[in-house]
Structure 1
Amino acid sequence: MTDPSQPTKMSDLVAPELPFLRRHARALTGRQDSGDRQAAATLEAILADPSCFDASRGGKAGLFRVFHSIWTSIDAPDAVSGDPLRAQATQHLATLTPNSREALLLHTVEGFSIDDLAFVMGIDAAEADALVETARAEMQKSVSGRVLIIEDEAIIAMDLEGILSMMGHEVTGVARTRDAAVEMGRKQQPDLILADIQLADNSSGIDAVKTLLPELDVPVIFITAFPERLLTGDRPEPTFLIAKPYEPDQVVGAVSQAMFFASTATLGA
């Protein structure tokens, strides 16, 4: 049993949050490999200088604060533009207000309050709130496309379709099984796939995506009740991931990010 009188070890604060740091870094870079490298660099920085880890607002905020300091010390658009296929993403990124995309991810996908977001980014709460609102406007204006939904629960599928339509995207179809998803994806090529993991006939959204990606080469957002199981750092793993139950803002944030990387495969990149 843990002794409450003993100070919490840094490793105990950091370890449970690593899957979510990987999710954040992958969403920012658009790739599993480069995102995981950024997450590893964060851990290396903490090991080299433990004083940089400020746990006053909890382990997750402290960990993400170190990540943010590293991320903003590099030219973030260049960090995702080494591949010629990523020129479109880089061009989009160059039009955005600095740090707005990260603020949107931190707030909507990672669930940081505006106050904690301000702590992570080292800014005041008013500026943090303004960055989130700016990101919403900029990203929804600049990127729209066709989305295939792979989801067996009718209510969730309808909810996702409504969110996507509100964002200005066209839903090409809603598939409840792997075979239906493959058929729909081949019939009308989407720009993005939004997929549940477990489907109605016990088939897998992951299997459907693995079948389609060699033919379509589009970004994929997976939805699962257990995101940490798909964020271990092993390969192949998803780049974009939403946890069930989700909030509409999480879908908006993840879809907006993924659309920037429509020229790259995202499973096992």
Structure 2
Amino acid sequence: MSDFKLEQTLTEAIAAELPFLRRYARALTGSQKTGDTYAAATLEAILADRSVFATDVPPKAALFRVFHGIWTTTGGTFDDAESSLEARAQKHLAGLTTGSREVLLMHSIERMPVSSIALVIGSSEDEVTELLNAAHREMSNSIAGRVLIIEDEAIIAMDLESIVTEMGHEVVGNARTRTDAVAMVNEQKPDLVLTDIQLADNSSGVDAARDILERYPDMPVIFITAFPERLLTGERPEPAFLITKPYSEDQVRSAVSQAMFFSSTETLKKA
């Protein structure tokens, strides 16, 4: 294969997986800006030295492995951590097993098999399994808070409420439209919003979230969509937390637990 074709193949492989690296990085850092900064640093590292992108492993694992090297080298830190929302998250995260959040997100949100995660972090499959078990234990004892669900399908709303309630959180309501969502947030002041993209009366969960974040800029919002790539382009603003339809219970639990760590409200408590 010619150098040109190799370069083209590499570019296509990275482009196909880049949206999901952005999703992972944003969920890991709790921020679109910080997550995208790490994703950009990953691309820069590959451009500087093509050999860091392994060709003998699946492309997604190869891309995430480059990211993981940068993440661990920097100590898994956040921008301006001493004065930002992320600084408070650092305190929440300090008690967790090192590496547990990373493997949980890769396994539950990105649906990567244990074998691929082992390649990413440079550990055995048994070690990855142990980290996953630790993550599930620690998340079950994590921070609890008040959640607003924005979903116009009654069955899906009930399913989400069941999952969130079983985690120890309080569901303060379910909004079916953009207008209702904004009104409920102003009234209930939840710690977290979980929203579908397409709502009743053809209103948008994205627009609802934008309205909410204009008034409550630090409120974590988790989006649920069948087309995640549309919200993972790197444009501003885009979500830090994103679940793909059809979702699994494990995905919802993981995303909610991660997002709760980044909530800045004072009503949070230990579950």
- After TM superposition, the score normalised by the length of structure 2 is 0.91
What corresponds to 1:267 in structure 2? none
Q: Give the SS at the match of 1:233.
A: coil
What corresponds to 1:242 in structure 2? 243
CA contact (8 A) 1:77 1:93 kept: no
Equivalent residue letter for 1:211: D
Equivalent residue letter for 1:219: P
Find the aligned partners of 1:222 and 1:151 in 2 and give their Cα distance. Answer: 11
Shift of 1:213: 2.0
Q: Give the SS at the match of 2:224.
A: strand
What corresponds to 1:70 in structure 2? 70
Please, which runs of 5 or more residues in structure 2 have no aligned partner? 266-271
CA contact (8 A) 1:30 1:239 kept: yes
Q: Which moved more, 1:161-170 or 1:134-143?
A: 134-143
What corresponds to 1:202 in structure 2? 202
Equivalent residue letter for 1:236: P
Shift of 1:142: 2.2
Please, which runs of 5 or more residues in structure 1 have no aligned partner? 1-5, 265-269
Equivalent residue letter for 1:55: T
Shift of 1:67: 0.6
1:145 aligns with 2:126: no
Deviations 1:175-200 (A, max 9, x none): 11111111211111110000011101
Shift of 1:132: 1.1
CA contact (8 A) 2:78 2:87 kept: no
Equivalent residue letter for 1:64: F
Shift of 1:85: 3.2
Equivalent residue letter for 1:117: I
Deviations 1:50-79 (A, max 9, x none): 111113332111100111111111121455
State how many pairs are aligned.
259
What corresponds to 1:223 in structure 2? 224
CA contact (8 A) 1:29 1:80 kept: no
CA contact (8 A) 1:29 1:79 kept: no
What corresponds to 1:50 in structure 2? 50
Shift of 1:113: 0.7
Identity percentage over the alignment?
A: 59
CA pair 80-247 structure 1, distance change in 2 beyond 3 A? farther
Q: Which moved more, 1:74-83 or 1:206-215?
A: 74-83
Shift of 1:238: 0.8
Q: Give the SS at the match of 1:72.
A: helix
What corresponds to 2:109 in structure 1? 109
Find the aligned partners of 2:80 and 2:191 in 1 and give their Cα distance. Answer: 19
Q: Give the SS at the match of 2:171.
A: strand
- After TM superposition, the score normalised by the length of structure 1 is 0.92
Find the aligned partners of 1:97 and 1:132 in 2 and give their Cα distance. Answer: 10
Q: Give the SS at the match of 2:148.
A: strand
CA pair 198-124 structure 1, distance change in 2 beyond 3 A? same
Shift of 1:154: 1.2
Shift of 1:147: 0.5
Equivalent residue letter for 1:31: S
